[in-house]
Amino acid sequence: MLDLDLTGKTVLITGATGDLGRVIARTLADCGAAVALHYHRNEAKARAIQSEIESKGRRATVAQADIGDNSSVRAMGKAISETFGPPQIVVANAVTQYAWKSVLDQPVEDYESQFRSCVLQSVNLAQTFLPAMIDAKWGRFIAINTECVLQCHPSQSAYVSGKRGMDGVLRVLAREAGPAGVTVNQVAPGWMISERDRAGGSESQPAYEQGIPLRHRGEDIEIARAVAFLASDQAGFITGAFLPVCGGNAMTAI
């Protein structure tokens, strides 16, 4: 029987107030995990998600940090450990938003922000949380990447460069952490239907859907389910994986 039971585990989700982050948080809490909800500026939203999860009888806490700053992430790690103990599962979901432009027009600062929120986030989270996982001989590091890194469409350069850099760090980390029983994997969403789409009636995007082999957009919950699987004991022999969840819109090569 396929059992995605995370009872007894603590999970940290960065960017937990975002479209995907809050669905991942709810799903992992439903699987039994205690959830640490990271936020950067939106404390009110983080508290609302905390209350929602606690209303179901699950444990949750909120934690603030600038995920691009090592000392800030380490302070967050200390606060979480004092509340729940060190997380056995880390989901690196946060990313900085910006206006997409051509390479010739994209401000250099946007490349720097993507480097910080993708590459440095991964490094800071690993340095803060993996030592305890290694000591325990069990852990899960799951990062949210994107189908865009396999497409490289115009105007995506800063985003793609940050996510591709993150991919390189995490592939190396998978080799380094593997001997201790810690897995490192990535989930690469397509343009998923979110709560914002449902509220605004923008679920259907015909031009985008035409290029998807399955001919429709996926739902945010499908990303959360992929994360839950990779976080579970069922995925214990999977590491270094890059898993597109995009209806075949982007396919990895062999």
* Structural domains of the chain ordered from first start: 10-245 (3.40.50.720)
Handedness of CA 204, 45, 113, 106 (dihedral sign): positive
How are strands ordered across the β-sheet holding 89-92?
60-64, 34-39, 10-13, 89-92, 139-144, 182-189, 242-245
pLDDT for 1: 58
Task: With both helix axes pointing from N to C terminus, report the angle between 121-136 and 70-84 in degrees, rounded to the nearest 10.
Answer: 40
254 residues of the chain, pLDDT tens digit each: 577 999 999 999 999 999 999 999 999 999 999 999 999 999 999 999 999 999 999 999 999 999 999 999 999 999 999 999 999 999 999 999 999 999 999 999 999 999 999 999 999 999 999 999 999 999 999 999 999 999 999 999 999 999 999 999 999 999 999 999 999 999 999 999 999 999 999 999 999 999 999 999 999 999 999 999 999 999 999 999 999 999 999 999 88
pLDDT for 254: 83
Query: CA-to-CA distance for 81 and 212, rounded, in angstroms?
Result: 42
Q: Is 188 helix (H, G, I), strand (E, B) or coil?
A: strand
Its pTM stands at: 0.96
Q: Is 222 helix (H, G, I), strand (E, B) or coil?
A: helix
Handedness of CA 8, 24, 177, 235 (dihedral sign): positive
pLDDT for 158: 98
